[in-house]
Structures are given as structure tokens and as C-alpha cells.
């Protein structure tokens, strides 16, 4: 029987609670689909600062490198906010992405019918939305140099550099074209080519690559228009390709189409080596340890791990079906229930109880 090595990174805040749910489900679904998983739990973020003094210990990174896939919950918390930037939990996450060479961030946004009422947009606008944001993760203005802060002439000036090389654009564009091929064949590349030189290169490279993918219909949008179109008529999108900064903003906007950040998974991939699978949300310190967190984004991240990381689509389908079933049965965590859910007779459950229902549904 094939055994896959999974590094589990529970991290901080609600991380350990939602990791426990995902782990039990992964154990159950692997057993029923003829493969096994061996888990190696390692500290990252604030938990690693407490245990080892650094947000990404060398042994955590090494364990991730040696595994077939990595499942991360979330990092961060107010206790660490006063630390210098490079010692904070968030630096551990950036170092992990860099250490694994993860340049492509995939965020699916799919409306679950039972939750259509949770969105702040009208049902006719969001029903049937099924899109994927592909964000470049290791380049652009977050990493460009020179950057810094200088004092001159009695003023303080701070600056960053937004830069992309042709190969960085090509490798992320390839991921997006391939995904579009496997999906509905439509790719929209988002840039600011009317103003930024770096965006013009982005557009030139993406346009050139389209010749290799004749089955994909390529379009381009300026980022300001894309932000509007996402809330005006999100159904027009299949795959959205963006740079690091624009993708950071647009993927959060797209995330809110579903109405809850507690439902959204993501995957980060490199050229080779293990992918990193994690919910879009953070460590939610305001609700940590109260057994009220929604574990579904974590469970759906585990499903992406099975589908994309281990090529086990049947097991991924089973997990996703379990989520659909539990929601269709009216089970909701606090973040999802709202006035409408209560009026519709939905049942409010905690994190562990939702985990039990998911196991039963499996």
C-alpha cells in the first residue's frame, strides 16, 4: 500500500483545533481509499518561536522538504506583534514559501449552494460562481530590491521595487494556462499595463504564451477594472492570473464572494517538491481555544492536498462531498449561521462537533 508523508503544521491560534479535525478526516479517507498517510507534526510561527526561538526552525523546513505534501493551519498572534519584523511568525511563513520554492498560489472560490445566503452579494450574482485565482507568490513588490527607508533634506522617504523577470512571469503563466485547460478554458490576466512597465512585460509574456494553448481563451483586465468586475459579475471568470500584490488584494476580495473566510482553501506550488496547502484565513486569535472555529477551510485544504499534492482525486471528492452534506444538513459553525441560518433552522455546532459530523458523512 502506498504511504505518503505529510508534514502537519498546526501553528497558532485556532490552528491546533482545525488541524485535529483535518487529521482525523485524512486518516479516515485514506483508509477507505486504499492508501495511508504518515504524519509528522512540526512547529511553525508563534508556536516555533515559543519552542525554538525562531518562527521557522531548520528541522521544520527539512521535514517539509522531505514530505510529499505539507498541510499548514495558520500562524500569528498579538503576542508576537511587538517583535522585529524578521522574528515575527509571518516571517516564518514567508521563509517557508521561499524555502520550498512555492511561486504559484492557487485559490479556488466556489459557491456552495447551501451557503449562497451567506454572501453579501445578491444570490443571482453569486450562484454558480466557480473561479480560481492564480497569484504569483515569490516575486513582485513584496520581494523587489532596492527597498528601504531613508532620511534626506529633512524628510523621510520609504520605497519598494516592483520587478518581474521574464522567467518568473512565464512559469506562473504556464500554471494558469494549464489550469484553464483542465477547467473551462478561459484565462483572464490582470495587470496595470497602462501605467506600469513591469505590467507591460507581464502582458507581453502572457500574450506570447497564449500561442501554446490554442484551446484557452485569453483576456486581459486592468486591476482596477478586475476589482469591479469581481463584485459586478463574478461568473464571467474561470481562471484569474495575477502578480503578487494584485493577487493578494483580489484573492481576498474574491474570497468574500462566498461570505465566509472560514470556507476557503488554498494551495501553493513550486516547480518540484511538495506543495503547501492551507486555509486562506489567519489564526483567528479572537476565537482561539473556544471550540467555535470553522474547520471547513482546513478540511477543503486537505482535499486540495489530496487532489493536487497526492493525485488522489477520488479521496478529495469524498472529503468535499462530506463538507457539502454536512452543510446541506444545516450544520453550521458560528461564522456561517447568521440571522438567515437561524431563521432557516440551522444547527450551531462547535469545531470538534463539525469534525464528528464530517467523519459520519465520510
Q: Rounded to the nearest 5 degrees, what angle is found at the Cα of 354, between the Cα atoms of 115 and 111?
A: 20
CB 4 within 8 A of CB 66: no
Judged by CB under 6 A, the residue of 111, 247, 335, 341 near ligand NAD is: 335
Q: State the minimum distance, in angstroms, from the CB of residue 359 to ligand NAD.
A: 18
Enclosing H/E stretch for 299:
helix 296-304
Catalytic residues: 142, 192, 224, 248, 252
Judged by CB under 6 A, the residue of 91, 138, 258, 294 near ligand NAD is: 294
CB 241 within 8 A of CB 188: yes
Nine cell digits for residue 132: 480560481
Which residue from 259, 262, 218, 266 is spatially nearest to 238, judged by alpha carbons?
Answer: 218
Which residue from 58, 114, 101, 88 is spatially nearest to 331, judged by alpha carbons?
Answer: 114
Q: State the minimum distance, in angstroms, from the CB of residue 192 to ligand NAD.
A: 24
Q: State the minimum distance, in angstroms, from the CB of residue 12 to ligand NAD.
A: 7
The DSSP code for 54 is S
Q: State the minimum distance, in angstroms, from the CB of residue 14 to ligand NAD.
A: 6
Question: Judged by CB under 6 A, which stretch of 54-62, 221-229, 232-240, 290-298 contacts ligand NAD?
Answer: 290-298
262 scored as a contact of ligand NAD (CB under 6 A)? yes
CB 110 within 8 A of CB 320: no
Nine cell digits for residue 97: 514559501
Nearer to ligand NAD, 82 or 146 (CB): 82
Nine cell digits for residue 88: 515575527
Judged by CB under 6 A, the residue of 23, 107, 203, 281 near ligand NAD is: 281
Q: State the minimum distance, in angstroms, from the CB of residue 354 to ligand NAD.
A: 10
Judged by CB under 6 A, the residue of 43, 55, 92, 282 near ligand NAD is: 282
Nearer to ligand NAD, 206 or 299 (CB): 299
Q: Rounded to the nearest 5 degrees, what angle is found at the Cα of 133, between the Cα atoms of 215 and 248?
A: 145
Question: Judged by CB under 6 A, which stretch of 100-108, 111-119, 204-212, 282-290 contacts ligand NAD?
Answer: 282-290
Nearer to ligand NAD, 192 or 332 (CB): 332
Q: How far apart are CA 279 and CA 229, in angstroms?
A: 24
- Per-residue binding letters, 92-121, with ligand NAD (x by CB under 6 A): -x----------------------------
First to last CA, the chain: 21
Question: Judged by CB under 6 A, which stretch of 25-33, 286-294, 301-309, 337-345 contacts ligand NAD?
Answer: 286-294
Q: State the minimum distance, in angstroms, from the CB of residue 9 to ligand NAD.
A: 9
Number of residues that bind ligand NAD (CB under 6 A): 21
Judged by CB under 6 A, the residue of 10, 43, 55, 77 near ligand NAD is: 77
- Per-residue binding letters, 221-260, with ligand NAD (x by CB under 6 A): ----------------------------------------
CB 190 within 8 A of CB 218: no
Judged by CB under 6 A, the residue of 169, 293, 319, 337 near ligand NAD is: 293
Nearer to ligand NAD, 243 or 333 (CB): 333
Q: How far apart are CA 86 and CA 98, in angstroms?
A: 14
Q: How far apart are CA 263 and CA 330, in angstroms?
A: 15
Q: How far apart are CA 12 and CA 18, in angstroms?
A: 11
Q: For the chain, how long is the longest CA-to-CA vector?
A: 69
Nearer to ligand NAD, 144 or 285 (CB): 285
- Which residues, numbered 47-76, are part of the site for ligand NAD (CB under 6 A)? 74-76
Burial of 92 (0-12, 13-18, 19+ CB in 10 A): buried
- Contact residues toward ligand NAD (CB under 6 A) are 14, 74-77, 90, 93, 261-262, 278, 281-287, 293-294, 297, 335
Amino acid at each position: 500500500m502506498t504511504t505518503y508523508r505529510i508534514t502537519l503544521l498546526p501553528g497558532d491560534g485556532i490552528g491546533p483545533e482545525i488541524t485535529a479535525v483535518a487529521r482525523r478526516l485524512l486518516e479516515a479517507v485514506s483508509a477507505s481509499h486504499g492508501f495511508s498517510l504518515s504524519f509528522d507534526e512540526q512547529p511553525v510561527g508563534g508556536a516555533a518561536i515559543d519552542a525554538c526561538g525562531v518562527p521557522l526552525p531548520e528541522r521544520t523546513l527539512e521535514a517539509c522538504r522531505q514530505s510529499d505534501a505539507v498541510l499548514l493551519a495558520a500562524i500569528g498572534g498579538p503576542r508576537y506583534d511587538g517583535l522585529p519584523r524578521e522574528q515575527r511568525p509571518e516571517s516564518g511563513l514567508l521563509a517557508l514559501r521561499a524555502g520550498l520554492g512555492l511561486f504559484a498560489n492557487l485559490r479556488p472560490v466556489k459557491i456552495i449552494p447551501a451557503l449562497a445566503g451567506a454572501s453579501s452579494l445578491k444570490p443571482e450574482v453569486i450562484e454558480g460562481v466557480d473561479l480560481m485565482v492564480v497569484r504569483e507568490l515569490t516575486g513582485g513588490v513584496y520581494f523587489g530590491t532596492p527597498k528601504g527607508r531613508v532620511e534626506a533634506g529633512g524628510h523621510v522617504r520609504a520605497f519598494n521595487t516592483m520587478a518581474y523577470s521574464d522567467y518568473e512571469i512565464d512559469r506562473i503563466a504556464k500554471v494558469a494556462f494549464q489550469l484553464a485547460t483542465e477547467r473551462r478554458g478561459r484565462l483572464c490576466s490582470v495587470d496595470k499595463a497602462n501605467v506600469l512597465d513591469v505590467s507591460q512585460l507581464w502582458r507581453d509574456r502572457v500574450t506570447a504564451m497564449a500561442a501554446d494553448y490554442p484551446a484557452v481563451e485569453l483576456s486581459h483586465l486592468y486591476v482596477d477594472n478586475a476589482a469591479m468586475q469581481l463584485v459586478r459579475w463574478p461568473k464571467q471568470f474561470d481562471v484569474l492570473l495575477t502578480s503578487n500584490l494584485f493577487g493578494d488584494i483580489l484573492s481576498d476580495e474574491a474570497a468574500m464572494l462566498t461570505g465566509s473566510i472560514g470556507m476557503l482553501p488554498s494551495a501553493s506550488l513550486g516547480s518540484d517538491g511538495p506543495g503547501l496547502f492551507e486555509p486562506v484565513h489567519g489564526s483567528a486569535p479572537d476565537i482561539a481555544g473556544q471550540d467555535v472555529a470553522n474547520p471547513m477551510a482546513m478540511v477543503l485544504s486537505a482535499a486540495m492536498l489530496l487532489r493536487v499534492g497526492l493525485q488522489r482525486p477520488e479521496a478529495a471528492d469524498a472529503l468535499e462531498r462530506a463538507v457539502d452534506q454536512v452543510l446541506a444538513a444545516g450544520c453550521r459553525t458560528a461564522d456561517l449561521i447568521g440571522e438567515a441560518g437561524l431563521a432557516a433552522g440551522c444547527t450551531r455546532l462547535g469545531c470538534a462537533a463539525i469534525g464528528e459530523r464530517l467523519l459520519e458523512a465520510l
